[in-house]
């Protein structure tokens, strides 16, 4: 089950990134062109947050089952000497939790804004911050913190 969840988590990250980038794009277009915040914009806002939350839940399950994380918490002193172990034991989870909290706050605030321009501005600001944090926290194949393949296989 662990390897299946890891595979799923690795692939769903692309879905999260696509939703976030598309949400930000629509927010830029809506804000700069004074568009009406439509049902489609609201659905995209909602589904971006939903997909991110699903990814977070899968990530938390993986975190609780990961042998790397178990080693990190069992022997933190020596684990902190290894950047790969520290990344998965501490950095990745903290950054991703922070990003999802920011995304959630932004989604909730945008939903409650009275003016369309304010909704687009709120999404643009909060989702962009979340995206930057997520980019830092993903173990890209080129990341100096820890790297994994761009597309994980079984």
- Locus of tokens 């080693």: 71
pLDDT of the chain, 154 residues: tens digit per residue: 888 999 999 999 999 999 999 999 999 999 999 999 999 999 999 999 999 999 999 999 999 999 999 999 999 999 999 999 999 999 999 999 999 999 999 999 999 999 999 999 999 999 999 999 999 999 998 888 888 878 877 6
Residues 6+ apart with CB under 8 A from 120: 26, 27, 28, 30, 31, 35, 37, 41, 110
What is the chain's alpha carbon radius of gyration, rounded to the nearest angstrom? 17
């Amino acid at each position: 089950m662990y390897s299946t969840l890891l595979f799923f988590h690795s692939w769903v990250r692309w879905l999260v990134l696509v939703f976030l980038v598309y949400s930000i794009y629509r927010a830029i277009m809506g804000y700069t062109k004074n568009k009406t915040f439509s049902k489609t914009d609201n659905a995209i806002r909602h589904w971006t947050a939903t997909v991110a939350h699903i990814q977070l839940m899968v990530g938390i399950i993986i975190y609780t089952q990961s042998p790397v994380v178990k080693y990190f918490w069992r022997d933190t002193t020596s684990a902190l000497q290894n950047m790969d172990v520290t990344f998965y034991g501490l950095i990745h989870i903290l950054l991703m939790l922070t990003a999802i909290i920011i995304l959630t706050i932004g989604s909730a605030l945008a939903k409650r804004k009275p003016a369309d321009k304010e909704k687009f501005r709120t999404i643009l600001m909060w989702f962009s911050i979340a995206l930057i944090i997520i980019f830092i926290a993903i173990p890209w194949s080129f990341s100096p913190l820890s790297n994994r393949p761009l597309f994980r296989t079984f």
